[in-house]
Amino acid sequence: MDLFGGAYAGRKVMVTGHTGFKGGWLCRWLELLGANVSGYALRPPSSPNLHELLAPEFPQTFADIRSVGELGNHLRTEMPEIIFHLAAQPLVGHSYRNPTETFDTNVRGTWTLLEAADKSARPPSVVVVTTDKCYRNAENGIPFREEDPLGGQDPYSASKACCEILCEAWRSSYWSREGTPLLATARAGNVVGGGDWSKERLLPDALRAERSGEALRIRHPEAIRPWQHVLEPLRGYLLLGARLLSGERSAARPWNFGPSPDQIATVHDVLSIWRRLRPGFALDEVPAPTFPEAANLVLESTRSKMELGWSTRWDLERTLRETDRWYAHLDAVGSTLCDIQIREYEAELAGARETAT
């Protein structure tokens, strides 16, 4: 079943950060769509990890995104038609402890990728994945639009705001004329689903606490975030990428991918549902000592809904049930549910489309 009009069948698609959580799901979906995938990333950052569970057989380069030579070699060999750039330092807490690495990876790494793409024999279009945290946050609870000012009160958020500015500068300076590649950015955050074992992320931390028999202490129980299943923003990226592959220059701009405002929830709300799903999980109501973080993050995704036909399918309850189901299946059988959940998700969307018409 193809929700993207066959846009990826037989096309050469490169994914940076393919060994990560979102990158692994994206590559698997692209393979199911018939794409010729290649991956470029560091070795998996955790053990266990989704990359080794999926055991992909497509061409892979394990190297740093800042490595000009390795990037050039990969592009010369694989000649992708489009790149989904997910390689990044993605964690807020890590950015406080390692700010130089965070800025260097997220900013210089993106510039290095764009330069390598521009110099390739067949320059590909690029979707750069940033974050919902790239906006200047006044903590007023108003959903962010793509035109809102960028900013960042922590090193990670600031690095991603810089990445967005970098992409705008690159697009305006080098890829604005007809015949040049297309460059878009995608902003989403607080993605959950099976296969994530990153530290200082809510559900992976909850799973580790449960398995160690400890109660989880959370940093900001009342923080509001745009929670969504990993398949939701990935579908948005794929819809956007299809527009770039078709040469639609108006798609070369920033895009938000977040659930509707009535689906946002606090950290405590999420864990209340998680506790119902997993009775062995215990929550310590005393907040953990932490670093500063935004209290409210909500995205306005009207542009994606109106122009790409994108919106979330699964509500928060369903999102968490599917996440629990994935980990329970892995524990019971030793294999992932990625293919099954992708197909179920596609079928539900196709059914909804048929009902609407």
Domain boundaries, the chain: 12-190+229-260+300-315+341-356
Q: Which residue intervals of 7-145 are DSSP H helices? A: 21-32, 50-54, 68-78, 92-97, 99-103, 109-119
Chain-centre distance of CA 42, in angstroms? Answer: 17
Q: How many residues does the chain have?
A: 357
Averaged pLDDT for residues 191-206 = 95
Contacts of 129 (CB under 8 A, 6+ apart): 22, 84, 85, 86, 88, 185, 186, 188, 237
Torsion, Cα 228 239 81 134, to 10 degrees, reads -50
User: Is residue 1 over pLDDT 80?
Assistant: no
The whole-number pLDDT of residue 289 equals: 62
Q: What is the pLDDT of residues 94-124, one digit of tens each?
A: 999 999 999 999 999 999 999 999 999 999 9
The whole-number pLDDT of residue 148 equals: 97
Q: What is the pLDDT of residues 54-82, one digit of tens each?
A: 999 999 999 999 999 999 999 999 999 99
What is the distance between the alpha carbons of residues 72 and 238, in angstroms, rounded to a whole number? 24
- The identity of residue 333, as a single letter, is V
Chain-centre distance of CA 323, in angstroms? Answer: 16
Q: What is the DSSP letter of 224?
A: E
- The identity of residue 18, as a single letter, is H
Q: How many CB atoms lie within 10 A of CB 141?
A: 12
- What helix, strand, coil percent values describe the chain, rounded to 5? 45, 15, 40
Averaged pLDDT for residues 17-36 = 98
User: Is residue 357 over pLDDT 90?
Assistant: no
Q: What is the CATH number of domain 12-190+229-260+300-315+341-356?
A: 3.40.50.720
The whole-number pLDDT of residue 288 equals: 65
Averaged pLDDT for residues 318-340 = 97
What is the distance between the alpha carbons of residues 212 and 291, in angstroms, rounded to a whole number? 24
